[in-house]
Amino acid sequence: MTFFLQLIVTGLAQGMVYALIAIGFVIILKCSEVFNIAQGHFVLIGGYLGWTFLVPFHLPIWAALLASIGVAVVMGLLIERLMLRPLIGQPVLAVVMMTIALATVLGGLATLLWGAEYKAYHGLLPTINMTLGAISVPSESLIGLMVSVVCVALLMLIFKYTKIGLAMRATAEDLQVVQSVGIKATTVYAFSWIIACVVGVIGGILLGGVSGANMELANIGLKAFAVVLLGGVNSIGGAIVAGVILGMLENVAAGYLDPLLPGGGLAQVFPFFVMIIVLVFRPHGLFGLASIERV
Protein backbone atom coordinates (compact mmCIF):
# COMPACT_ATOMS: atom_id res chain seq x y z
CA MET A 1 0.00 0.00 0.00
CA THR A 2 2.84 2.38 0.85
CA PHE A 3 4.44 1.55 -2.50
CA PHE A 4 1.18 2.32 -4.28
CA LEU A 5 0.70 5.63 -2.45
CA GLN A 6 4.29 6.61 -3.15
CA LEU A 7 3.74 5.95 -6.84
CA ILE A 8 0.56 8.02 -6.76
CA VAL A 9 2.29 10.96 -5.09
CA THR A 10 5.25 10.88 -7.49
CA GLY A 11 2.77 10.65 -10.35
CA LEU A 12 0.92 13.68 -9.05
CA ALA A 13 4.10 15.75 -9.18
CA GLN A 14 4.84 14.72 -12.74
CA GLY A 15 1.23 15.13 -13.71
CA MET A 16 1.11 18.75 -12.59
CA VAL A 17 4.12 19.61 -14.74
CA TYR A 18 2.59 17.77 -17.71
CA ALA A 19 -0.57 19.77 -17.14
CA LEU A 20 1.34 23.07 -17.05
CA ILE A 21 2.97 22.27 -20.38
CA ALA A 22 -0.28 21.04 -21.87
CA ILE A 23 -2.01 24.32 -20.96
CA GLY A 24 0.39 26.25 -23.20
CA PHE A 25 -0.49 23.89 -26.01
CA VAL A 26 -4.23 24.22 -25.46
CA ILE A 27 -4.13 28.03 -25.40
CA ILE A 28 -2.41 28.24 -28.79
CA LEU A 29 -4.77 25.64 -30.20
CA LYS A 30 -7.90 27.39 -28.93
CA CYS A 31 -6.90 30.84 -30.16
CA SER A 32 -5.24 30.12 -33.46
CA GLU A 33 -5.99 26.46 -34.28
CA VAL A 34 -2.27 25.75 -34.52
CA PHE A 35 -1.05 22.43 -33.15
CA ASN A 36 2.25 23.34 -31.58
CA ILE A 37 4.64 20.38 -31.67
CA ALA A 38 7.43 22.63 -30.33
CA GLN A 39 5.85 23.03 -26.88
CA GLY A 40 8.33 20.53 -25.44
CA HIS A 41 11.20 22.58 -26.79
CA PHE A 42 9.97 25.67 -24.96
CA VAL A 43 10.41 23.53 -21.84
CA LEU A 44 13.91 22.63 -22.96
CA ILE A 45 14.84 26.28 -23.51
CA GLY A 46 13.26 27.12 -20.15
CA GLY A 47 15.36 24.54 -18.33
CA TYR A 48 18.57 25.94 -19.80
CA LEU A 49 17.48 29.57 -19.28
CA GLY A 50 16.92 28.80 -15.60
CA TRP A 51 20.44 27.42 -15.34
CA THR A 52 21.92 30.39 -17.23
CA PHE A 53 20.36 33.00 -14.99
CA LEU A 54 20.85 31.10 -11.72
CA VAL A 55 24.37 29.69 -12.09
CA PRO A 56 26.62 31.82 -14.36
CA PHE A 57 24.67 35.06 -13.72
CA HIS A 58 24.13 34.41 -9.97
CA LEU A 59 20.71 36.04 -10.02
CA PRO A 60 18.32 35.48 -7.11
CA ILE A 61 15.45 33.15 -7.89
CA TRP A 62 12.82 35.85 -8.47
CA ALA A 63 15.08 37.81 -10.81
CA ALA A 64 16.00 34.66 -12.72
CA LEU A 65 12.32 33.86 -13.12
CA LEU A 66 11.54 37.37 -14.36
CA ALA A 67 14.48 37.35 -16.76
CA SER A 68 13.45 33.96 -18.16
CA ILE A 69 9.89 35.15 -18.63
CA GLY A 70 11.25 38.22 -20.43
CA VAL A 71 13.19 36.01 -22.83
CA ALA A 72 10.10 33.85 -23.31
CA VAL A 73 7.99 36.89 -24.25
CA VAL A 74 10.50 37.97 -26.89
CA MET A 75 10.74 34.39 -28.16
CA GLY A 76 6.95 34.09 -28.43
CA LEU A 77 6.66 37.38 -30.34
CA LEU A 78 9.42 36.46 -32.78
CA ILE A 79 8.04 32.98 -33.43
CA GLU A 80 4.56 34.25 -34.14
CA ARG A 81 5.68 37.12 -36.35
CA LEU A 82 8.38 35.33 -38.36
CA MET A 83 7.08 31.77 -38.65
CA LEU A 84 3.38 31.42 -38.01
CA ARG A 85 1.91 34.61 -39.44
CA PRO A 86 2.95 33.84 -43.04
CA LEU A 87 1.12 30.53 -42.71
CA ILE A 88 -2.30 31.86 -41.68
CA GLY A 89 -4.87 30.03 -43.79
CA GLN A 90 -2.50 27.26 -44.88
CA PRO A 91 -3.41 23.57 -44.49
CA VAL A 92 -2.82 21.65 -41.24
CA LEU A 93 0.23 19.85 -42.57
CA ALA A 94 2.10 23.07 -43.42
CA VAL A 95 1.43 24.53 -39.98
CA VAL A 96 2.37 21.34 -38.15
CA MET A 97 5.55 21.00 -40.21
CA MET A 98 6.37 24.59 -39.33
CA THR A 99 6.15 23.87 -35.61
CA ILE A 100 8.24 20.72 -36.10
CA ALA A 101 10.85 22.78 -37.94
CA LEU A 102 10.66 25.30 -35.10
CA ALA A 103 11.26 22.45 -32.66
CA THR A 104 14.40 21.32 -34.50
CA VAL A 105 15.70 24.89 -34.73
CA LEU A 106 15.14 25.39 -30.99
CA GLY A 107 16.85 22.06 -30.30
CA GLY A 108 19.76 23.14 -32.48
CA LEU A 109 20.00 26.49 -30.71
CA ALA A 110 20.00 24.77 -27.32
CA THR A 111 22.80 22.50 -28.55
CA LEU A 112 24.76 25.48 -29.85
CA LEU A 113 24.33 27.70 -26.80
CA TRP A 114 24.56 25.14 -24.00
CA GLY A 115 26.39 22.27 -25.67
CA ALA A 116 23.61 19.70 -25.11
CA GLU A 117 25.20 19.10 -21.72
CA TYR A 118 23.65 18.17 -18.43
CA LYS A 119 23.39 21.34 -16.34
CA ALA A 120 22.45 20.74 -12.74
CA TYR A 121 21.12 23.44 -10.49
CA HIS A 122 19.12 21.63 -7.87
CA GLY A 123 19.23 23.08 -4.43
CA LEU A 124 18.84 26.55 -5.86
CA LEU A 125 15.07 26.33 -5.95
CA PRO A 126 13.34 26.55 -2.55
CA THR A 127 12.44 23.21 -1.00
CA ILE A 128 9.51 22.22 1.15
CA ASN A 129 9.63 18.88 2.91
CA MET A 130 6.49 17.15 3.99
CA THR A 131 5.62 13.62 5.04
CA LEU A 132 2.19 12.06 5.10
CA GLY A 133 2.36 9.00 7.31
CA ALA A 134 4.88 6.62 5.80
CA ILE A 135 5.23 8.32 2.45
CA SER A 136 7.32 11.39 1.83
CA VAL A 137 5.89 14.02 -0.44
CA PRO A 138 8.72 15.19 -2.67
CA SER A 139 9.40 18.90 -2.56
CA GLU A 140 9.21 19.25 -6.33
CA SER A 141 5.72 17.82 -6.32
CA LEU A 142 4.53 20.49 -3.90
CA ILE A 143 6.29 23.30 -5.73
CA GLY A 144 5.05 22.02 -9.06
CA LEU A 145 1.55 21.89 -7.68
CA MET A 146 1.75 25.41 -6.28
CA VAL A 147 3.31 26.97 -9.35
CA SER A 148 0.81 25.24 -11.60
CA VAL A 149 -2.11 26.39 -9.48
CA VAL A 150 -0.78 29.97 -9.44
CA CYS A 151 -0.21 29.94 -13.20
CA VAL A 152 -3.66 28.57 -13.94
CA ALA A 153 -5.27 31.07 -11.57
CA LEU A 154 -3.40 33.94 -13.22
CA LEU A 155 -4.45 32.75 -16.66
CA MET A 156 -8.07 32.48 -15.54
CA LEU A 157 -7.91 36.06 -14.21
CA ILE A 158 -6.40 37.27 -17.49
CA PHE A 159 -9.10 35.52 -19.48
CA LYS A 160 -11.85 36.86 -17.28
CA TYR A 161 -10.91 40.44 -16.49
CA THR A 162 -8.62 41.81 -19.19
CA LYS A 163 -9.52 43.07 -22.62
CA ILE A 164 -6.99 40.84 -24.38
CA GLY A 165 -8.30 37.84 -22.41
CA LEU A 166 -11.80 38.59 -23.61
CA ALA A 167 -10.49 38.94 -27.17
CA MET A 168 -8.75 35.58 -26.85
CA ARG A 169 -11.87 33.86 -25.63
CA ALA A 170 -13.87 35.46 -28.42
CA THR A 171 -11.32 34.38 -31.03
CA ALA A 172 -11.54 30.83 -29.74
CA GLU A 173 -15.27 31.05 -30.24
CA ASP A 174 -15.52 32.52 -33.74
CA LEU A 175 -12.73 34.12 -35.73
CA GLN A 176 -14.90 35.81 -38.35
CA VAL A 177 -17.16 37.52 -35.85
CA VAL A 178 -14.12 38.73 -33.91
CA GLN A 179 -12.56 40.23 -37.02
CA SER A 180 -15.81 41.91 -38.02
CA VAL A 181 -16.00 43.79 -34.70
CA GLY A 182 -12.48 45.09 -35.15
CA ILE A 183 -10.40 42.88 -32.88
CA LYS A 184 -6.99 42.24 -34.40
CA ALA A 185 -6.62 38.48 -34.68
CA THR A 186 -2.85 38.76 -35.13
CA THR A 187 -2.52 40.45 -31.72
CA VAL A 188 -4.48 37.60 -30.18
CA TYR A 189 -2.26 35.05 -31.93
CA ALA A 190 0.89 36.83 -30.74
CA PHE A 191 -0.42 36.91 -27.19
CA SER A 192 -1.30 33.23 -27.23
CA TRP A 193 2.25 32.35 -28.37
CA ILE A 194 3.69 34.56 -25.63
CA ILE A 195 1.60 32.78 -23.01
CA ALA A 196 2.59 29.36 -24.39
CA CYS A 197 6.28 30.30 -24.31
CA VAL A 198 6.06 31.68 -20.77
CA VAL A 199 4.18 28.63 -19.49
CA GLY A 200 6.66 26.30 -21.19
CA VAL A 201 9.66 28.16 -19.80
CA ILE A 202 8.24 28.09 -16.26
CA GLY A 203 7.68 24.35 -16.63
CA GLY A 204 11.25 24.01 -17.84
CA ILE A 205 12.67 25.85 -14.82
CA LEU A 206 10.61 23.63 -12.50
CA LEU A 207 11.81 20.44 -14.16
CA GLY A 208 15.36 21.75 -14.49
CA GLY A 209 15.43 22.61 -10.80
CA VAL A 210 14.48 19.03 -9.97
CA SER A 211 16.46 16.90 -12.38
CA GLY A 212 18.82 19.34 -14.10
CA ALA A 213 18.53 20.74 -17.59
CA ASN A 214 19.32 18.35 -20.45
CA MET A 215 18.12 17.59 -23.94
CA GLU A 216 15.65 15.01 -22.60
CA LEU A 217 13.40 17.83 -21.41
CA ALA A 218 12.09 18.23 -24.97
CA ASN A 219 10.59 14.73 -24.83
CA ILE A 220 8.24 15.87 -22.08
CA GLY A 221 6.44 17.76 -24.83
CA LEU A 222 5.56 14.51 -26.61
CA LYS A 223 4.05 13.17 -23.39
CA ALA A 224 2.13 16.38 -22.93
CA PHE A 225 0.33 15.58 -26.19
CA ALA A 226 -1.13 12.46 -24.61
CA VAL A 227 -2.35 14.68 -21.77
CA VAL A 228 -3.89 17.12 -24.22
CA LEU A 229 -5.64 14.38 -26.16
CA LEU A 230 -6.93 12.67 -23.02
CA GLY A 231 -8.25 15.92 -21.60
CA GLY A 232 -9.69 17.15 -24.87
CA VAL A 233 -7.69 19.47 -27.07
CA ASN A 234 -9.75 22.56 -26.36
CA SER A 235 -10.21 22.30 -22.62
CA ILE A 236 -7.81 23.89 -20.13
CA GLY A 237 -9.51 22.20 -17.19
CA GLY A 238 -9.30 18.92 -19.06
CA ALA A 239 -5.57 19.37 -19.50
CA ILE A 240 -5.07 19.70 -15.74
CA VAL A 241 -7.24 16.70 -14.83
CA ALA A 242 -5.73 14.58 -17.60
CA GLY A 243 -2.21 15.61 -16.61
CA VAL A 244 -2.73 14.35 -13.09
CA ILE A 245 -4.47 11.16 -14.27
CA LEU A 246 -1.73 10.39 -16.77
CA GLY A 247 1.11 11.17 -14.37
CA MET A 248 -0.37 8.76 -11.81
CA LEU A 249 -1.28 6.04 -14.31
CA GLU A 250 2.17 6.18 -15.85
CA ASN A 251 3.88 5.73 -12.51
CA VAL A 252 1.58 2.97 -11.30
CA ALA A 253 1.85 1.08 -14.59
CA ALA A 254 5.63 1.41 -14.66
CA GLY A 255 5.95 0.51 -10.96
CA TYR A 256 3.96 -2.72 -11.24
CA LEU A 257 4.53 -3.86 -14.83
CA ASP A 258 8.16 -2.91 -15.48
CA PRO A 259 9.58 -5.80 -13.39
CA LEU A 260 7.52 -8.22 -15.51
CA LEU A 261 8.77 -6.91 -18.86
CA PRO A 262 12.22 -7.85 -20.12
CA GLY A 263 13.06 -4.52 -21.73
CA GLY A 264 11.32 -2.24 -19.24
CA GLY A 265 10.89 1.43 -20.09
CA LEU A 266 7.10 1.30 -19.94
CA ALA A 267 6.90 4.81 -18.48
CA GLN A 268 8.47 6.18 -21.67
CA VAL A 269 5.95 4.60 -24.01
CA PHE A 270 2.86 4.48 -21.78
CA PRO A 271 1.51 7.91 -22.86
CA PHE A 272 1.57 6.74 -26.47
CA PHE A 273 -0.61 3.76 -25.69
CA VAL A 274 -3.02 6.12 -23.94
CA MET A 275 -2.90 8.36 -27.01
CA ILE A 276 -3.86 5.54 -29.39
CA ILE A 277 -6.65 4.30 -27.12
CA VAL A 278 -8.09 7.80 -26.72
CA LEU A 279 -7.85 8.48 -30.45
CA VAL A 280 -9.65 5.26 -31.35
CA PHE A 281 -12.41 5.33 -28.77
CA ARG A 282 -12.92 8.96 -27.79
CA PRO A 283 -11.12 11.33 -30.17
CA HIS A 284 -12.41 14.47 -28.47
CA GLY A 285 -11.05 13.39 -25.11
CA LEU A 286 -12.65 13.55 -21.68
CA PHE A 287 -13.71 17.19 -21.66
CA GLY A 288 -13.25 18.33 -25.25
CA LEU A 289 -16.00 19.33 -27.59
CA ALA A 290 -16.92 16.69 -30.13
CA SER A 291 -16.52 18.31 -33.52
CA ILE A 292 -19.43 17.86 -35.87
CA GLU A 293 -18.83 18.27 -39.56
CA ARG A 294 -21.48 19.99 -41.59
CA VAL A 295 -21.52 20.52 -45.29
Residue 226 CB, shortest distance to other proteins, in Å, is: 8
How many Cβ atoms are within 10 Å of 238's Cβ, its own excluded?
24
Contacting residue, 87, 166, 170, 286, with other proteins by CB under 8 A: 87
State which of positions 214-253 bind other proteins (CB under 8 A). Answer: 222, 225, 229, 233
Residue 128 CB, shortest distance to other proteins, in Å, is: 35
Task: Measure the CA–CA gap between 270 and 283, rounded to whole angstroms.
Answer: 18
Largest CA distance in the chain: 61
Contacting residue, 93, 181, 290, 292, with other proteins by CB under 8 A: 93
9 CA to centre of own chain = 20
* Of 18 and 202, CB closest to other proteins: 18
Please, which residues have CB within 8 angstroms of residue 259's CB and are 6 or more apart in sequence? Answer: none
State which of positions 99-158 bind other proteins (CB under 8 A). Answer: 100-105, 107-109, 111-112, 115-116
Please, which residues have CB within 8 angstroms of residue 156's CB and are 6 or more apart in sequence? Answer: none
Residues in contact with other proteins, shown as a per-residue x/- string from 9 to 38 under the rule CB under 8 A: --------------------------x---
Residue 97 CB, shortest distance to other proteins, in Å, is: 6
Helical H runs in the chain?
Answer: 2-32, 39-54, 61-79, 92-114, 139-161, 163-173, 175-180, 185-211, 217-231, 236-257, 266-281
State which of positions 250-289 bind other proteins (CB under 8 A). Answer: 261-263, 265, 268-269, 272-273, 275-276, 279-280, 283
Contacting residue, 83, 120, 158, 252, with other proteins by CB under 8 A: 83
CA distances 102 to 34, 105, 213, 238, 277, Å, are: 13, 5, 20, 26, 28
60 binds other proteins (CB under 8 A): no
* Of 60 and 115, CB closest to other proteins: 115
Q: Does residue 136 contact residue 8 with C-beta atoms inside 8 Å?
A: no
Exposure string for 47-84, b = 16+ CB within 10 A, e = fewer = bbbbbbbbeeeebeeeebbebbbebbbebbeebbeebb
Residues that bind other proteins (CB under 8 A): 35, 83, 86-87, 90, 92-94, 96-98, 100-105, 107-109, 111-112, 115-116, 222, 225, 229, 233, 261-263, 265, 268-269, 272-273, 275-276, 279-280, 283, 293, 295
